[in-house]
Each structure stands twice: as structure tokens, then as C-alpha cells.
Amino acid sequence: MFEYLRKSLLTGVGLALRSKNEIEDLAKEFAQNSKMNQDEARDFLNECQQKYEDAKTDFDKKIEKTLEKILSKLDLASKSDIKALNDRIDDLTKKLSDLP
């Protein structure tokens, strides 16, 4: 039962949607209610914090990937596209100014 509750608490989506403080408070409360010793509670809290960070990073990557797909479908110029065009304009301007 304890392991099931522990795994449920560490579910990535649930952690990603909660703040870090909420996760820490929930983990502390769970550790107290399950009568863990101090080492177990500390390990559990560290595991919760790591799972939170992992879930948050994964969530951020998924959002970034989704935004990239949307922007790609919109066919907007990227920063690198605009920089390349500006560089070409600068080169052409220099060539024109060097003409007699």
C-alpha cells in the first residue's frame, strides 16, 4: 500500500502541475503520516524534489517542441533566417558602395 501511494505521489504530470513548495509540503505530511524515520523521510523528500524537477523539465521540453511545431506550420521567419538576410543585405550594400 505504501509503495502504491508513493508511486502515485511521484506521478510526473501531477508533480509538474504543482509548485515545488506544495510538493515539499505534501511529501513532509506523507512522511509524517506514514511514520517514516528521518533518513527515509529525507530520502523520500529528495526523491520527490528530483521527480518534480524531472517532470518540470520534461513538461517544458514538450511545450517548447509544440511551440516549434506551431511556428513551423505558420511559416514564420526564424531569427537565423532574418540574420542571414541582414548579412546578405550588408554584403550587397558594401558591394554597391564599392562600385565606382
pLDDT at res. 91: 96
**Closest to 46 in 3D by CA, of 27, 21, 19, 22:** 27
Distance in angstroms (rounded) separating the CA atoms of residues 68 and 71: 5
Domains identified in the chain, total number: 1
Angle subtended by helix axes 20-33 and 2-9, to nearest 10: 170
pLDDT at res. 59: 82
pLDDT at res. 6: 54
CB 23 within 8 A of CB 44: no
Mean pLDDT (whole number) for 82-89: 96
Q: pTM value?
A: 0.47
Question: Can you give the residue range of the structural domain that contains 42?
Answer: 2-98
Mean pLDDT (whole number) for 64-83: 84
Residue 2 has pLDDT above 50, yes or no: no
The count of other CB atoms within 10 Å of the CB of residue 48 is: 22
Helices (H), 1-100: 2-9, 12-16, 20-33, 38-74, 79-98
The model's pLDDT over 21-66, given as tens digits with 9 standing for 90+, comes to 777 777 777 777 777 777 877 787 788 778 878 888 888 888 888 8
Kindly report which listed range (4-18, 47-61, 67-81) carries the lowest average pLDDT score.
Answer: 4-18
pLDDT at res. 16: 57
